[in-house]
Amino acid sequence: MTSSLVLDDVTVARGGAPIVRGVSLTAPAGEVTALLGPNGAGKTTLLESVSGVIPITGGTVSLNGGRLNALDRVARARAGIAHVEQGRTVFPDLTVAENILVVRRGPGVIDKALELFPELHKRLDVAASLLSGGEQQMLVLARALAARPSALLIDEMSLGLAPVIVQRLLPVVRDLAASGVAVLLVEQFATLALKIADTAHVLSGGTLTYSGPAAGLRSAPERLHAAYLGEPLPGVAGGS
């Protein structure tokens, strides 16, 4: 069976107010699934509900066929969900090596985690707080990899990074997916995400207004604009 992350009719509320309503989507293993949408659309809330930071109020989240709803965030991480939060969340006082070893210890763990980020190899003993923004984002991705996840949730990877760094990271995300991980990429800058995504979903006002091939939005920006404005597009598959 191919591993995948499946959200079925997921609803999430904050303070009693629904933020995400009836979202269904699948992030298959080996693919990059982009979740796009304007500010405040509910993208981060949806990711947080998948990793267990906040509870879902309706629907189901499952990974490789197993329901995650009843699991807390620690158990979900152990089940194979890795969540790379917004804001380059390194452990600032730990060194680069410690940031990786905190997830998993053992011979070769650091080398394996840094395979895609060789520039961090010479900074293993440096405190993470002293790294540049791009290096911190690389470290956060490497740390997530060390957990050997089935599904990787990445929230606003490009936020606050120089374009050259973003260009460096995008192929890495593509490579991660190619290694068999289901990548769900939340990105405010749609064109960046669409460059590497196989499938795209647009969330606007808490509901999906587009679900389909990323190529469908790459080649027709007007469709993307319409989806951002909350206009349901013909052919929206509702995540199927």
Partner 1 sequence: MLEGAIAGLTAGGAYAVLGLCLTLMYRLGRVVNLAQAAIGVVGVYTMSVLADGGVPYFVAVLAGLVAAALVAAGLGYMMGRWFAEAGTDQRSAIAIAYLVGLLAIEYLVFGTDPRQIPGVLGGPLATVGGVTITQAAAVCVAAAVLITAGVSVFLARTAVGLRLRALSQRPTTAELMGIPSRRLGVGLWAVTGVLATAVLLVVAPQQNSDQLSLGLMVIPACAAALVGGFRSLVGTAVGGLALGALQGALAHVSQLQEFRDVVPFVAILAILLWSQRGEVWDAAR
Which chain residues interact with partner 1 by CB under 8 A?
51, 53, 72-74, 77-78, 82-83, 85, 89, 91-94, 98-99, 101-103, 105, 143, 147
Closest approach of partner 1 to the CB of residue 27, in Å: 17
Report d(CA 114, CA 139) in Å as an integer.
Answer: 8
The least distance separating partner 1 from the CB of residue 46, rounded to whole angstroms, comes to 15
Name the residue nearer to partner 1 (CB basis): 92 or 235: 92
Strand order in the sheet with 4-14: 17-28, 4-14, 58-63, 66-67
Spatial distance between the Cα atoms of 60 and 50, rounded to a whole number of angstroms:
9
Task: Give dist(CA 21, CA 6) in Å, integer.
Answer: 15
Closer residue to partner 1, CB minimum distance, 101 or 236 = 101
Task: Kindly provide the residue ranges of all beta strands, DSSP E only, lying in 55-143, ordered along the sequence.
Answer: 58-63, 66-67, 81-84
Residue number with CB closer to partner 1 (74 or 164): 74
DSSP 65: T
If one counts every other C-beta atom within 10 angstroms of the C-beta of residue 240, the result is: 9
Nearer to partner 1, 144 or 200 (CB): 144
- Residue 189 beta carbon to partner 1: minimum distance, rounded to whole angstroms: 23
Distance CA 138, CA 142 (A): 6
Assigned token pair, 56: 């879902």
Residue 228 C-beta: closest distance to partner 1, Å: 28
In the 8-state DSSP scheme, what is residue 95? B
Q: Which is nearer to partner 1, 67 or 78 (CB)?
A: 78
C-beta of 93 vs 231, nearer to partner 1: 93
Q: How far is the CB of 240 from partner 1 (least distance, A)?
A: 28
Place of tokens 């010479």: 122
